[in-house]
Structure 1
Amino acid sequence: MCIPMLLMGMPSLFFPQDTLQTVVAKEGDGILSLLRKQGVDPYAHYDDFIAMNVDNLRDSIHLYAGREYRIPAADAHVAVVDSIQRKASEVKDIKTREIPILGEKHSTVLMKSDRLAGTVYYLVSGHGGPDPGAMAEYAGKTISEDEYAYDITLRLTRELISHGAMVYVIIRDENDGIRDERILKMDHDEVAYLNKPIPLNQVKRLKQRVDIVNGLYNRHRGQYQRLIVTHIDSRSVGQNIDVFFYHHEKSKNGKRLAESIHNTFRKNYKKYQPNRVYSGTFQDRTSLYLVKKTHPAMTFIEVGNIRNKKDQRRILVHQNRQALAKWIAEGILLDYEGR
């Protein structure tokens, strides 16, 4: 069963239509000024506005003049006659960062908080370079594990950076960035951190990733560090699976990280799919090379079966890939703040 379609792409899940009004953005309008003109508290409803209109925003934070936008219900009104000077000062308070690897359309990251300030995260997407990982056919085209795992990883990167984390993207494709297409075109130009070619030999490929992560871990010794590895499974065509989380059997922190993300998924399934039970698990799986050899506390995530038609919906719809990233990030925040 796929993750619901979905969080950021389906605002009606959060906001009943009869509570909404719409307005057409004019040249020069920003989110804050648009909300203020409608008598809506821009601080209280900024995130609501983005969630409701994310597919109609440039770089997830900028309006398009002439387009229609949903306005959250104004439970906290403000005077429309506030001074232009105050509006200008509010705009200055919005902080962003430019992260080129996220791609031209998504490189501007809105800084939401500093909840992860001082943390370091290493994100590794499965396979890449000469190894595309699991493959399947969809609409007459071949799709591969590495492209979708990478897209989810970049979306997770964006989420973590928005809360102040330092993020190392270990497997990188400078040409791709976050993509919203259903079919992500395969290529083989991914490299490892600092532009290292990815070996074809599996053991050498995994050892390269371990060496990179452990080297960075030593550089940041004393800081809060975690590793997230993202894969897409390749079981039989008829077998659909939920999202699974693995950790090192002797790592208390790794277990807590996996459990925190797992609990976040269970909570969100209960909220958005109340008629089904989430069957994914978190468990130790020290036999996995990256789980066994890397130094940071970590979780290894399998997000579904690329060969199963139901599971394909989880990764082919970009809103679902965004949900996976968002839910993983929520679990990471839960883990960090509950330590």
Structure 2
Amino acid sequence: MFLSVFCFGQDSLKTIVAEPGDGILSLLRKQGVDPYEVFDEFVLLNNDNLRDSVHLIAGRTYIMPAVKLDTVAIVDSLQIQSKEIKELESVSYDIFGEKHKNVIEKSERLKGTIYYLVSGHGGPDPGAMGIYAGKAIAEDEYAYDITLRLAKELLSHGAKVYIIIQDPNDGIRDDFILEIDHDEVAYLDKTIPLNQVARLKQRVEIVNDLYKSNKGNYQRLIVTHVDSRSEGQNIDVFFYHHEHSKNGKRLAQSIHKTFEAKYKKYQPNRSYSGTFEDRTSLYLVKKTHPAMTFIEIGNIRNAKDQVRIVDPDNRQALAKWISEGVLLDYESE
């Protein structure tokens, strides 16, 4: 690994040469910074030197964002090795896995809010299936990983988060191929039914019971799915809401607006065709009580969409962009 320093006025910007196999997240971790804190700035600084605006090119030199000392987070291996982690304002959540369990407080911008997060399928139903690098990949594993990453982002801004579908041992995974299992359970360790209607009804009842018990609080529901369409059809990220829910429409619109801005900023040569629209016919959209949005991440059977789904850098970016849309929605109340 080769490091150098560019002098610019009174500031020093460190640069680093990407090695084969490096992703943005892993490159930033190697430099001892929180990759989720500076991801957007890194992409902005290096946009002309990235493939598809999100992928590193081995052998190219990249500029590292300037990080203020008081915002440097102890990440991954440093979390294990350093005693300084005890001095950080953080809370540990085992559901995120050993490497990602510490959630460092970024702000209180979502203090007093409650978010219910539901990832598609799980348990006996893996959802949509695809093939990547000769191996089977399942919708529920990728939707769950994005949901965990989103939960961590929301928690870092002070929200209370209920993860409705949970896996006891997966945690956030930084792999391209996420191993398929069937041990997911619903909130409070409920077995997920095999029957589709029973499975959806269970989720609706859990969310609506929680909504009732938290009556009077600001509450929102976000459902995350990966779609399955014909192999040749690639899609952008879509956001659905109930046709009669003004708050649900604004939530979907806020996240959609954030995605439009991100695509314009990071992929100016690529048009964004994702939409937000009412889809009241969907069971979870129709039956749940909180204002909500139902998000389709992409087509797991399409090669272009698979890049968005299987790359952990992309899954983190998706979660972060959704969280920024959530912040936009809440702060525009």
TM-score, structure 2 as length reference: 0.80
Distance 2:294 2:153 in 1: 18
- Please tell me the residue identity of whatever aligns with 1:101: I
Aligned equivalent of 2:196: 202
2:44 to 3, 14, 20: 14
Contact 1:261 1:331 in 2 (8 A): yes
Provide runs of 4+ in structure 1 moved above 6 Å.
none
1:178-257 map, 5 Å: 178-257=172-251
Distance 2:190 2:80 in 1: 39
2:76 to 48, 58, 67: 58
Distance 1:247 1:15 in 2: 35
2:131 to 130, 137, 145: 137
* SS, match of residue 167 in structure 1: strand
Distance 1:10 1:240 in 2: 25
The one-character-per-residue Cα deviations of 1:72-130 (angstroms, maximum 9, x if unpaired) are xxxxxxxxxxxxxxxx9x984x3101011011110001110111111100000000000
Contact 1:245 1:300 in 2 (8 A): yes
Larger radius of gyration: 1
2:69 to 42, 48, 69: 42
* SS, match of residue 136 in structure 1: strand
Distance 1:182 1:10 in 2: 21
Contact 1:233 1:306 in 2 (8 A): yes
Q: Which ranges of structure 2 fall in alignment gaps of 5 or more residues?
A: 1-22, 26-34, 47-60
Distance 2:63 2:258 in 1: 28
| 1:104 matched to 2:98 | yes
- Structure 1 residues 18 and 220, CA gap change in structure 2 (3 angstroms): closer
Contact 1:247 1:283 in 2 (8 A): yes
How far did 1:64 drift?
A: 7.0
1:166-181 map, 5 Å: 166-181=160-175
Distance 2:63 2:166 in 1: 43
Higher RCO (Cα < 8 Å, 6 or more apart): 1
Aligned equivalent of 1:85: none
- Please tell me the residue identity of whatever aligns with 1:141: K
Distance 1:278 1:41 in 2: 33
How far did 1:15 drift?
A: 3.4
- Structure 1 residues 312 and 18, CA gap change in structure 2 (3 angstroms): closer
Contact 1:122 1:168 in 2 (8 A): yes
* SS, match of residue 269 in structure 2: coil
| 1:114 matched to 2:141 | no
Distance 1:292 1:139 in 2: 37
Contact 1:6 1:323 in 2 (8 A): no
- Structure 1 residues 210 and 20, CA gap change in structure 2 (3 angstroms): closer
- Please tell me the residue identity of whatever aligns with 2:134: G
Aligned equivalent of 2:264: 270
Aligned residues: 284
Contact 2:117 2:163 in 1 (8 A): yes
| 1:164 matched to 2:158 | yes
- Please tell me the residue identity of whatever aligns with 1:104: E
The alignment's C-alpha RMSD in Å is 2.4
- Structure 1 residues 222 and 135, CA gap change in structure 2 (3 angstroms): same
- Please tell me the residue identity of whatever aligns with 1:293: K
How far did 1:11 drift?
A: 6.3
Contact 1:128 1:191 in 2 (8 A): yes
TM-score, structure 1 as length reference: 0.79
- Structure 1 residues 139 and 41, CA gap change in structure 2 (3 angstroms): closer
Distance 1:260 1:220 in 2: 24
- Please tell me the residue identity of whatever aligns with 2:119: S
Distance 2:257 2:223 in 1: 18
Contact 1:243 1:301 in 2 (8 A): yes
* SS, match of residue 14 in structure 1: helix
Identity %: 66
How far did 1:281 drift?
A: 0.1
- Structure 1 residues 127 and 18, CA gap change in structure 2 (3 angstroms): closer
How far did 1:276 drift?
A: 1.3
Distance 2:173 2:68 in 1: 32
Distance 1:331 1:218 in 2: 25
Contact 1:58 1:64 in 2 (8 A): no
Contact 1:241 1:305 in 2 (8 A): yes
- Structure 1 residues 6 and 58, CA gap change in structure 2 (3 angstroms): closer
1:75-90 map, 5 Å: none
- Please tell me the residue identity of whatever aligns with 1:42: L
